[in-house]
Structure 1
């Protein structure tokens, strides 16, 4: 039987090899979960249904933001506690995570039920596109708890370094969603609402599976009682680290709202469908890189807790270059055959050569993504939540906002795509420099 990776002793290259593959597969199948709804709707319902659900991305990103807040904060606390051998903290992580998941999901569900229609209207659409967005959102919000809790609990499994186990539960849920979505859309006749309902059912199963993992004693850390409990120190630590993810994701909500609103302002329904497809492809292709870097957090967190400074430095450099290489390999088929990929996403739309270049332009920013992502993950893993929070805010204020408002004024729709590509590159260069300075601090620890 293959032994579990040793986060404190195995070489960073070996850890990346052992942990990244299940991490990549897990993230890929999880991303398929959201892609499935859009593709099925595009093929089984209409392009308007596809556009309407895609338009909800900034709104559903609010749920992702809260999930990331709880998952990142809890995972960082757990990883450092494992590295330091602190069983008292280990026992308190799950009860506090459940409290945060319950509280946040109730608030978001009520907000979605009472203000969902107004939120969709703010996106600047009407008619069939608007109705599709409302129909999906009204069902989606009913299952918010299963998304937040399930993904947060699965994040704790990854914090142990058991990426393969976490991936297994993810695969089961996604396969279930792939099977149920066309059944609910066509066979049951629920249309757009059926796509949302299938996602809820799959995430419910996902939550049950992760709960069984902890209640049956499969975890390698002291889980304590599976209950609800509030510990001020644990909550404070989770908030300190998780706030960086929350702020980053919530700023992305505003960011995506501005981007999609800009597309509807400068373009038409066809332009919105094309941009939605480009955006989905960019997100999907970037997922393997995120899966590889996902396994960086427990390695850094455990070694930081054990005061292994040199391993922290070596590990982030290893994972970063591995991520850059992976992104370069993955973008090649898409930039080589962009028409085929866009045609799959929106089969009933005519794609121009200029729109193919939009896709190529945006995807060329992908190799820079591991640089910025690894830096944020590093600061989260070592508990420097304030720095991990400030950097994404600086990005939005100093880079995104000026570019997205200035460039389209001069070159219309083209400016939106150029703004996104330029911003990603500059941000990555900024974070490369900032991390080099942090590494100098670690090296001072080693010499002393």
Structure 2
């Protein structure tokens, strides 16, 4: 794969550059998603369907804490991309050092609190009945590895901001592959059950961290830190916080969504409905990997060229990214509409789960072709450093539309109302994003180019 440097982000053709950035990102997301997918299949067949539900209870909690690292990474990487575009290398270094300091302070503190209130947290997120005990086992062990995961997420975004998508891809692939190998050893061969699943996940996070540490210490990285860079700078911290809060808020809303969904579905359909949601959730992570890859590839291109005042290239990157992502989303939609039963049977042999899940899956992915606009539109505002519109658009789907819908529609349509909420919120959030993105292009990019 051709090498991409920070300078190339402002020079190479946008379509070619987007492919170079998006393909490694997509492969990394694919492998990571396959890891989650296959991990769920292993757990479902080697431990049982209740174990799938148990992991689904824990994921939003652990991912929220890890998202502190990702939010700091994304917020800081937006600054780094624009700083590199403006040839301000000292600001890029100071930002990176501040990112690491902030990530360690926040994630370690959150893990301590998470372990102290483990029982209450698990119950709040729907870990009830037969789900509670396996969920607690998984929760306590995985939380030990979450600070490493947070640093991995942070490092991955910075690697991509440097214009090194190939290494960012490796950083996503390494923990995924190691987790699957450890799953096979600890769950299947050694029969450690939920303990095996949890330790496989935690150890894989540590392995990923070791790789990312090696990258930044090696000659491959342009960002060589000194101790002075780790001292917090108030202006940089504020900028990281304002931009990173977008990502953190999104993950917070995702975690709240899991909280509502698991509890509502448990009340309406018991463990079967929670398991069905867990399977659909895995497909949401896996099936859309190429669309997420395009979004990840788009971020440094838009940020760098905006920082370099190449507004024509920024507009071209928006149009190209939306076009590519829409085509890929449509292909995903076709496959999921055609084969939901076969997909469900990959995860479990539970007859009730197999009966319920395909219909739920069709509802969830009903308007998938239009989500490209929503994802790229929200990402654009984050890439150029406009935190407020980025935050509002990022929260629009789940925060402003989806959560109210799942609280209202089940009162009229029962469990069907839960699944109807997915396509309705997708349509509404896409319309809102399209309006604000079009206004921004006309007012800023076109006006500044003329």
TM-score range, shorter chain: over 0.9
CA distance in 2: counterparts of 1:138 and 1:354, whole angstroms: 31
Whether 1:98 aligns to 2:100 is yes
C-alpha offsets along residues 330-379 of structure 1, whole Å, 9 cap, x if unaligned? 23222211111011122233456664222112112322222111112111
Decide whether aligned partners of structure 1 residues 397 and 212 sit closer, same or farther in structure 2, where only a CA change above 3 A counts.
closer
Residue number in structure 2 paired with 1:240: 242
Residue number in structure 1 paired with 2:204: 202
Residue number in structure 2 paired with 1:74: 76
2:184 to 179, 182, 185: 182
CA contact (8 A) 1:49 1:128 kept: no
C-alpha offsets along residues 418-441 of structure 1, whole Å, 9 cap, x if unaligned? 011210121011101110000012
Residue number in structure 2 paired with 1:26: 28
CA distance in 1: counterparts of 2:23 and 2:399, whole angstroms: 35
1:446 to 436, 445, 449: 449
Residue number in structure 2 paired with 1:133: 135
Residue number in structure 2 paired with 1:344: 346
Decide whether aligned partners of structure 1 residues 179 and 324 sit closer, same or farther in structure 2, where only a CA change above 3 A counts.
same
Unaligned 5+ segments in structure 1 are none
1:2 deviates by 3.4
Question: If the length of structure 2 is used for normalisation, what is the TM-score?
Answer: 0.94
Moved more, 48-57 or 183-192: 183-192
Decide whether aligned partners of structure 1 residues 228 and 196 sit closer, same or farther in structure 2, where only a CA change above 3 A counts.
farther
SS in 1 for 2:167: helix
Equivalence map 1:188-227=2 (5 Å)? 188-219=190-221, 221-225=222-226
SS in 2 for 1:7: helix
SS in 2 for 1:383: coil
SS in 1 for 2:350: coil
- In angstroms, what is the RMSD of aligned CA positions? 1.9
1:181 deviates by 1.3
Whether 1:4 aligns to 2:4 is yes
Equivalence map 1:217-296=2 (5 Å)? 217-219=219-221, 221-225=222-226, 228-296=230-298
Moved more, 119-128 or 16-25: 119-128
1:396 deviates by 4.5
Decide whether aligned partners of structure 1 residues 101 and 269 sit closer, same or farther in structure 2, where only a CA change above 3 A counts.
same
Equivalence map 1:390-429=2 (5 Å)? 390-396=392-398, 398-429=400-431
Whether 1:155 aligns to 2:174 is no
C-alpha offsets along residues 226-245 of structure 1, whole Å, 9 cap, x if unaligned? 77322222211111111111
1:64 deviates by 4.1
Question: If the length of structure 1 is used for normalisation, what is the TM-score?
Answer: 0.95
Unaligned 5+ segments in structure 2 are none
Whether 1:58 aligns to 2:60 is yes
CA distance in 2: counterparts of 1:347 and 1:317, whole angstroms: 44
Aligned residues: 446
